[in-house]
Amino acid sequence: MTRSSRRTERALRLRASLVAAQVALVALIAVPGMALGHAELVSSVPAANASITTSPRQLVLTFTEAIDPANSSLTLLGPDGSPVVGTGALRINAAATTATADVPALKAGIYTVSYRVTSAADGHVTSGQYAFLLDPTGTQPGPIGSASSASPSIEPTTIAARWAVLVLLLVLFGTALFWLASARPALGAARRGEREVALRGGVGPWSAIAILAFGAFLSLAIFLTLAAGAIGSGGHTHPGHQGVPLDFAAPFGWTPFAIAMRVTLLGTFAAFLLAAARFFAFDEARRRGRPARDLDTALLLGVLGATAAALGGMSFAGHAFAGGGPVFALIDWFHLVAVGSWLGTLGGLALLAWHMRRMQSDRREVLRAALSRHSRVAMIAAPVVVLTGLANSPIVIGAARNVVASQYGDLVLAKATLFSVAVAIGAVNFLLVRRGSTARATTLIGGEALIGLVAVAVAATMLSIQPAASRVATLSSAANQTAHLYGTAGSSNVHAAISIPAPGDQLYQVVVSDPATGAPRSDVRAVAIEFTAPSGSRFGTKRVGMTRTQDATIWSVQGAFAPEVGAWTIGVLVQRAGGLESVSFPISVQDPIPPELVPPPDTGLGVPAVLGLLWLLPDGLAGWLLLCLPLMALALVALLERSGRVTARPLGWMAPARVALVAVAVVAGLGIGSRSVVEAANRGATPGPNPIAASAASVERGKLIFLANCATCHGADGSGDGPQGAGMLPAPGAIGPSISRMSDPELHYLVTNGLAGTKMPSFATKLSENERWDLVNYLHSGWHSGQ
């Protein structure tokens, strides 16, 4: 081995190691965990965590997608945890999105609704539960906690099986297309017919195509079996029992999902039969020593058609069909076909290279010709992948905020990043093939194939989790909750409860108990409550008598006894046989913050710490100008390299300079790009104009709100040096540049909903509407546009 060949071998190993490291790094950074299921609960009657005064006649549950009536159930559990006797059968409406069940007359207590439904669109099972309180007195708050749901259909094994189906189908389609459009013409142009390659290499592509098709069928059978296992015993039937043999979609009945899966099963099985038949025909001809009939073109077209139908079944069983109907399912089918035509063909290229491993004379020429033809296909397929992906984005992503606020959005960003890397590698390969550098292009194609596998893994996960568009906005919980006051009146303990410490009609309750035993006092003759208004108020002091409730230990009174906001004092007077006992409590009466519709919770991965460090770079126009500098330097290096070739002067520093400039450009692009994505995604629908004038009083109120709620991270002067901001990535940073670019409504939206993708929380439940507008006035008074 010569010194130059050893250097070439080391360089090839280094490039392959770098490609593998890049793929691993992208996979670790970009692929987050999994989200919840698909047929999610949108609303219910009674509502989750509600407190109602009358027994409901029926339960009504509404879901984001159509559900399968035969594989859905609902159970109502009573206060003792046992099923409520007399609950009616589950009824599904015509659209299959609403489930209803009659219930008998219920007694007071907390009830739990447990449900388990199967999506008719994608076959995923969602199980969940929520609680509500039946309180005839209307004095008790609803159950604490939130509704929960989970999907057994998104177990890692199920996702892995679906990933295997997608990978094998895409490689199957790509291999057949590559052999038909690139390999056969290249072999013919080299005057070495495919028949000779078939005899030397194992019956051409047909053995590989048969293995791929059988693997896809087997993986699909495993996926459907695992998905059906999540349904339980309520399925329609099971493989190998009733119905058509090997109908692995039978447990899902004849839902749209089941029909689509049957199309995929038939497509993969048909492709397997065509390939297996051709394989045995070649083998028989070889044994008899005569050439087989040239039917490859027709059979390859048949395999392409069958595989395309199988990919269509995958599209019609996915989110695009569930959210957008047949039109968007077709767009998704074009997307999969384009991916198979571009990245799936790399499997065919590997097959061709293996077949020609012993034909050194023509190997490089045939591979170069095949790569050249494949490059033309890729130049058409790659834009189709982009356009079809963009067309389906509104259906599966929904609001722009979901790009950074949901795990599905994280996967979309990961897929886009992988696609960009693959396009960059493809562009380099195209140039290398045109220059005749087939060996260098082959090394990069291996990296392109690995990136394609990771991208398909991301896509399979996207098919198996809840699409971001199905996330439902929620009502914010008011910060004003039931107030409980505890004190000692003489020799008794007093527990007073106020439904909501706010102006207006409220319920007041008192329980007097023995401090030694905790048992309620039985000798209480009368209880009164005394309201003392804030200093300077016109209301003064008012005493109100209380009456016993049905529970003789509870005394109550209802009315508007604290009609204004301020610091009130509430006294409880207890008349016992031994005399009068009293205790007083300070209570802050505030206007309640009404619940409002806010975006669903931020479940995204957030900005990784690695990217958070890059947010220290300038943002806005300055950041984009910073990115232009290494790009301009790269262009200059290219010009110098071209001039060096003309003058035959060695320019050894060019390669390190290119690597360094590309690294700088990538770092700058990630920094300004990630910040721009987060900022753009958080510009949602804004309310009307600011209803509060930016008066001195409003600005002063806003300043106090800022110091109490924002300064801990952003600092008292907005410079980003707050005590909680230390070590936070992305760092809070100076707020001036961002605020100066926002209008009043945009800033109000940000304060209300938080900055998804970062650690800035929502203040919808902590600050009232007017307080948020006061904060906006203060921020814009200190950091106005242009400052």
Region 161-170: mean pLDDT is: 88
Rounded to 5 degrees, φ, ψ at 145 are 120, 170
Q: What element of type H or E holds 549? A: none
Instruction: Select, from the ranges 111-115, 252-256, 314-318, 748-752, the one with the highest average predicted confidence (pLDDT).
Output: 111-115
pLDDT of 762: 85
Q: Peptide bond before 239: cis, by omega within 30 degrees of 0?
A: no
Whole-prediction pTM: 0.66
pLDDT of 92: 92
pLDDT of 283: 75
pLDDT at 29 over 70: no
Chain Cα centroid distance, residue 342: 26
- How is residue 174 written in tokens? 């790509």
Angle, helices 3-30/438-464, rounded to nearest 10 degrees:
10
Distance CA 706, CA 697 (A): 14
Region 718-733: mean pLDDT is: 82
Distance CA 707, CA 181 (A): 68
Distance CA 465, CA 31 (A): 13
User: Is 3.40.50.1000 the CATH classification of the domain at 483-589?
Assistant: no
Distance CA 12, CA 177 (A): 29
Distances in whole angstroms, Cα of residue 33 to Cα of each of 458, 600, 603: 11, 18, 10
Distance CA 709, CA 141 (A): 28
Q: What is the CB-side half-sphere exposure of residue 593 using CA atoms within 13 A?
A: 20
* Cβ(568)–Cβ(594) below 8 Å: no
Residue ranges in 133-205 assigned as alpha helix (H)? 156-178, 184-189, 194-201
Distance CA 283, CA 293 (A): 12
* CATH code for the domain defined by 696-782: 1.10.760.10
- How is residue 68 written in tokens? 């399968």
Question: E-strand spans in 698-773?
Answer: none
* Cβ(307)–Cβ(173) below 8 Å: yes
pLDDT of 59: 95
Q: Fill in the amino acid letter for 216.
A: A
Q: Which of 37-51, 164-178, 590-604 has the lowest mean pLDDT?
A: 590-604
Distance CA 730, CA 610 (A): 9
* Cβ(235)–Cβ(210) below 8 Å: no
pLDDT of 447: 73
CATH value of 41-152 in 2.60.40.1220, 3.10.129.10, 3.50.50.60, 2.60.40.10:
2.60.40.1220
Q: What is the DSSP letter of 216?
A: H
Does residue 632 or residue 641 have the better pLDDT? 632
Distance CA 155, CA 227 (A): 9
- How is residue 366 written in tokens? 């045939």
Give the Cα-Cα-Cα angle 593, 599, 602 (nearest 5 degrees). Answer: 110
Does residue 282 or residue 194 have the better pLDDT? 282
- How is residue 737 written in tokens? 């540049």
Convert the pLDDT of each residue in 485-504 to its tens digit: 999 998 999 999 998 888 88
Among candidate residues 536, 527, 526, 528, the one with its CA nearest the CA of residue 568? 536
In the chain, % of residues over pLDDT 70: 81
* Cβ(671)–Cβ(614) below 8 Å: yes
Convert the pLDDT of each residue in 527-570 to its tens digit: 999 999 998 898 989 999 999 988 888 999 999 999 998 999 99
pLDDT of 100: 94
